[in-house]
């Protein structure tokens, strides 16, 4: 194992970590407001394909990112309309969203499979830092979306903990009726949280086609949306812990393709199970602790709200 | 009260605040107009801190947590409410949570506070503390509406009283200092002594159901009732009178086996059933007519037939399969014998009217020829005809030697059909009366006075 390949592993860990973090932050926002959205995989796929198409057609990576976020938000709003607006079952609607998103992405992208990318988000050079040994390439020579992910993490954390909006949003996820009687619009809060979550999932997808891969092929997201969903549980619905989890899970993704070159005889399939095994372990810990303290899961997660007209 | 707080909308009439007419579309409107309500079920978020719960309705755009906590604790201190604003709410006792509810309203600077039965979740020392807090708020120039059915609380805390009975004001703005507790009790229970239609007396047999120092906890982990000792004999109806929420529901649940008892024993036909399963109790002759008909008694979305055979489906089966024809025949039998009016026996039971629902439920429970019947509020919400039918069924059972416990809030009903009357208050038996000779006043005092007055035996 050479030093270069080890640095390569860490570089990939951070970049996969950022990819997962963006999507997981989006899911966290929606779940904090009380809406489980299992459509992350579909929203990522839509973000990936629209970003790629806009890149090829207009050669502007930032426009591509913006369009990806918009598409993610629109797709998420479909879920919001059914679950928040009509009170539909969130699991069913979310699963449908994944299938719809994957199918729609395959359809939209069928003429773009294998094309060279029209626009890429190239790694940012931080003068003076990027040349440092180890930390330089790992932290200071990444694609701009990595820094976006970090920024979003700080922003989401701040909004949730120290603003009126965040307080109301968390309240909507805990007890919709209390939130309503305090004069906040549960409908508005939940719809915007779901849409914002969709935008972040779209950005995560865009990162794939604008930087990591950067190409379009059907099935490009490869289950990473599901890892993001698991990540929210793993991080106990806290933006900071989800960030740490993103690095761990990102590490398993990075390691998967590098096992053989390192000469380790270990099945990559077992490695891809790791995020889910870890999540199950966390769930176990949460339920053991639940005897002493309430679960960190939003209490109203998955429960539709309709004001009682008594 | 829910109209004042903006939860319900009035059908007619007018609400004036400082002489201005107001109309509320929701609770937020009412709060903005200065009216806040502490509901019996708290509207709090367990995972939030005390401060977060308090400010939820009106927070600054950006929160400085330390400063918010400071402001909340200053407000709390002003009115003598002892709570730690940074503590997560789930760690608080019910009494402390109530203080948070009150703080929420004070935070919005409401001038009128409505407290709906605030003392039911409190321990006696917490009740005293609440009284002091309310006095401080009144001294601060706020108006407080204190809803209670406990006379000593009303006379201890309030300045004047308004008595409501069956949706009507029977007395308003009585100055407490010059009003006797007995007078209040009289106003609350009314004086319409109806002795009509009393059933023929029956000579009761031996005891069928015996409670010996039985105790149990309520849903919130507080004691619901304790040390209850009484027996119900064959061929008598024992009425349990009392204002709702004094342990009657829990008592019925414990007898039916739906709630564990914490001490004491319960026996039926001479054998101990304290630990027996509901199924076993049913098989040995206990019938239960629960207060919550559609929730506990019946399954709302199942068909009438399915509901009819819920208790006895084991008799209508071959192997693992229910025999549809046999089930239907059984259901038709009950429907006919107990006069359930229904078009479609395969339709959901929730489509039935209240009276027909209760007939089916009572029919199902009485069909097994029980020896003991526990009926919790069996006539509540029924029309005159339904009430009469159910009462007649219970009397008929009594005459054939069944022991009946009837829990009801309707004192007139109990005075008419019960053979013996026990008054339950705060989980204790506050008196035993003979309905033929008891005076309403005495029963009323026992129901309302929290053991502060002497009760006749």
Domain region containing B298: 207-448
Structure confidence by residue, pLDDT tens digits, B13-50: 777 877 778 777 777 788 788 888 888 778 899 889 99
Q: Is residue B93 assigned to a domain? A: yes
B45 to A162: CB separation less than 8 angstroms, yes or no:
no
Query: Cα separation of A158 and B253, whole Å?
Result: 48
Residue B439 tokens read as 């005076």
Sheet-wide strand order for B143-147:
B35-38, B112-116, B143-147
- Among residues B119, B147, B175, which one ends one of the domains? B147
Q: Is residue B429 assigned to a domain? A: yes
- Among residues B147, B172, B189, which one ends one of the domains? B147
Q: Does residue B93 sit in helix, strand or coil?
A: coil
> Do residues B212 and B136 both lie within one domain?
no
Helix A268-289 vs helix A239-256: crossing angle, to nearest 10:
160
pLDDT of residue A1: 65
Give chain B's largest Cα–Cα span.
Answer: 75
C-beta separation of A226 from A43 below 8 A = no
A304: closest CA of chain B, how far (Å):
17
Number of independent structural domains in chain B: 2
Q: Which residues of A touch B26 (CB under 8 A)?
A: 180-181, 183
> Do residues B226 and B120 both lie within one domain?
no
Which has the closest alpha carbon to A181: B95, B41, B117?
B41
Q: Is the whole-model pTM more than 0.80?
A: no
Q: Does residue B30 sit in helix, strand or coil?
A: helix
In sequence order, the 6+-apart residues with CB closer than 8 A to the CB of B95 are B121, B122, B123, B126, B129, B130
User: Looking at residues A140-154, what average pLDDT do you find?
Assistant: 93
Query: Cα separation of A115 and A215, whole Å?
Result: 7
Query: Cα separation of B375 and B356, whole Å?
Result: 16
pLDDT of residue A56 exceeding 80: yes
Distances (CA, A) of A199 to A81, A172, A248, B79, B110: 16, 20, 24, 47, 41
Q: Is A163 on the interface with B (CB under 8 A)?
A: yes
Q: Is A289 on the interface with B (CB under 8 A)?
A: no
Q: Is residue B414 assigned to a domain? A: yes
pLDDT of residue A223 exceeding 80: yes
Closest residue, chain A, to B43 (C-alpha) = A178
Distances (CA, A) of B364 to A280, B311, B354: 46, 8, 15
To probe the interface with A, which of B24, B57, B58, B88 has the most A CB atoms within 10 Å?
B57
pLDDT of residue A126: 86
> Do residues B111 and B245 both lie within one domain?
no
**DSSP H helix total and E strand total for chain A:** 12, 0
pLDDT of residue B457 exceeding 60: no
Q: Which residues of A touch B60 (CB under 8 A)?
A: 164
In the numeric block, the tokens 């502007």 are attached to A60
In sequence order, the 6+-apart residues with CB closer than 8 A to the CB of A61 are A55, A119, A120, A121, A210
Q: Which residues of B touch A184 (CB under 8 A)?
A: 56-57
Query: Cα separation of A271 and A252, whole Å?
Result: 6
Strands B372-376 and B321-322: unpaired
Q: What is the CATH number of the domain that holds B295?
A: 3.40.50.300
A178 to B45: CB separation less than 8 angstroms, yes or no:
yes
CATH for A3-289 is 1.10.3470
Return the number of other C-beta atoms located less than 10 Å from residue A283's C-beta: 15
Structure confidence by residue, pLDDT tens digits, B302-348: 889 988 888 888 888 888 888 888 888 889 988 888 888 877 888 88
pLDDT of residue A136: 87
Query: Cα separation of A175 and B56, whole Å?
Result: 12
List strand residue ranges (DSSP E) for B71-159, in order: 112-116, 143-147
pLDDT of residue B456: 38
Please give the helix or strand (H or E) that residue B72 lies within, else none: helix B65-78
Closest Cβ opposite residue A171 in set B45, B64, B90: B45
Domain boundaries, chain A: 3-289
Q: Is B64 on the interface with A (CB under 8 A)?
A: yes
Return the number of other C-beta atoms located less than 10 Å from residue A291's C-beta: 6
Q: Is residue B126 assigned to a domain? A: yes
> Do residues B142 and B218 both lie within one domain?
no
C-beta separation of B354 from B386 below 8 A = yes
Strands B372-376 and B403-407: parallel
Q: Is residue B199 assigned to a domain? A: no
pLDDT of residue A53: 96
C-beta separation of A163 from B62 below 8 A = yes
Count, residues in chain A: 310
């Amino acid at each position: 194992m050479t030093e270069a390949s080890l640095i390569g592993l860490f570089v990939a860990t951070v970049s996969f970590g950022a990819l997962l973090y963006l999507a997981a932050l989006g899911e966290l926002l929606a779940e904090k407001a009380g809406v489980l959205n299992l459509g992350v995989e579909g929203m990522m796929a839509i973000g990936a394909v629209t970003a790629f198409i806009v890149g090829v057609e207009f050669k502007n990576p930032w426009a591509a990112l913006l369009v990806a976020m918009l598409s993610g938000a629109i797709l998420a709003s479909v879920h919001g309309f059914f679950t928040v607006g009509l009170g539909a079952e969130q699991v069913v609607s979310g699963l449908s969203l994944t299938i719809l998103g994957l199918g729609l992405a395959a359809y939209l992208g069928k003429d773009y499979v294998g094309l060279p990318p029209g626009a890429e988000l190239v790694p940012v050079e931080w003068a003076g830092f990027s040349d440092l040994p180890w930390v330089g390439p790992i932290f200071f020579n990444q694609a701009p979306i990595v820094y976006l992910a970090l920024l979003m993490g700080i922003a989401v954390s701040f909004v949730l903990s120290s603003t009126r909006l965040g307080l109301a949003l968390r309240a909507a996820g805990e007890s919709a009726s209390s939130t309503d009687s305090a004069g906040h619009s549960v409908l508005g809060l939940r719809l915007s949280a779901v849409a914002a979550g969709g935008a972040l999932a779209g950005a995560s997808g865009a990162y794939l086609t604008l930087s990591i891969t950067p190409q379009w092929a059907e099935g490009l997201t490869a289950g990473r949306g599901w890892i993001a969903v698991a990540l929210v549980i793993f991080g106990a619905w806290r933006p900071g812990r989800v960030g740490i989890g993103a690095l761990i899970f990102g590490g398993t993704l990075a390691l998967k393709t590098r096992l053989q070159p390192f000469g380790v005889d270990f099945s990559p399939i077992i490695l891809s199970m790791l995020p889910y095994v870890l999540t199950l372990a966390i769930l176990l810990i949460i339920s053991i602790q639940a005897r002493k303290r309430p679960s960190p899961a939003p209490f109203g997660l998955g429960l539709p709200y309709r004001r009682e007209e008594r | 009260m829910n109209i004042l707080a903006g939860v319900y909308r009035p059908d007619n009439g007018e609400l004036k605040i400082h002489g201005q007419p107001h109309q509320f579309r929701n609770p937020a409107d009412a709060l903005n107009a200065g009216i806040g309500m502490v509901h019996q079920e708290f509207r709090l978020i367990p995972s939030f801190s005390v401060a977060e719960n308090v400010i939820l309705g009106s927070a600054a755009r950006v929160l400085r947590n330390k400063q918010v906590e400071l402001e909340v604790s200053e407000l709390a201190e002003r009115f003598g409410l002892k709570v730690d604003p940074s503590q997560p709410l789930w760690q608080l006792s019910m009494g402390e949570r109530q203080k948070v509810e009150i703080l929420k309203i004070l935070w919005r600077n409401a001038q009128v506070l409505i407290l709906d039965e605030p003392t039911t979740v409190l321990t006696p020392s917490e009740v005293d503390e609440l009284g002091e807090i309310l006095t401080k708020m009144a001294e601060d120039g706020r108006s407080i509406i204190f809803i209670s059915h406990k006379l000593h609380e009303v006379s201890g805390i309030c300045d004047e009283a308004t008595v409501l009975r069956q949706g009507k004001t029977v007395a308003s703005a009585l100055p407490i200092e010059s009003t006797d507790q007995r007078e209040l009790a009289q106003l609350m229970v009314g004086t319409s002594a109806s002795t009509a239609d009393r059933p023929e007396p029956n000579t009761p047999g031996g005891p069928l159901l015996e409670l010996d120092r039985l105790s149990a906890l309520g849903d919130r982990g507080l004691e619901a009732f304790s040390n209850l000792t009484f027996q119900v004999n064959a061929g008598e109806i024992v009425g349990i009178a009392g204002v709702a929420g004094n342990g009657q529901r829990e008592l019925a649940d414990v007898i039916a086996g739906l709630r564990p008892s914490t001490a004491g024993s319960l026996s039926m036909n001479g054998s101990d059933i304290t630990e027996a399963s509901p199924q076993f109790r049913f098989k040995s002759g206990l019938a239960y007519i629960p207060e919550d008909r559609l929730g506990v008694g019946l399954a709302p979305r199942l068909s009438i037939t399915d509901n009819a055979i819920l208790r006895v489906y084991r008799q209508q089966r071959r192997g693992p399969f229910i025999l549809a024809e046999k089930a239907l025949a059984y259901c038709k039998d009950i429907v006919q014998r107990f006069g359930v009016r229904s078009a479609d026996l395969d339709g959901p039971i929730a489509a039935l009217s209240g009276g027909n629902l209760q007939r089916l439920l009572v029919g199902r429970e009485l069909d097994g020829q029980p020896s003991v019947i526990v009926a919790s509020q069996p006539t509540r919400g029924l029309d005159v005809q339904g009430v009469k039918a159910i009462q007649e069924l219970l009397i008929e059972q009594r005459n054939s030697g069944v022991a009946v416990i009837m829990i009801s809030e309707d004192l007139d009903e109990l005075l008419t059909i019960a053979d013996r009357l026990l008054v339950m208050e705060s989980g204790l038996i506050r008196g035993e009366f003979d309905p033929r000779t008891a005076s309403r006043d005495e029963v009323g005092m026992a129901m309302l006075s929290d053991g502060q007055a002497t009760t006749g035996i």
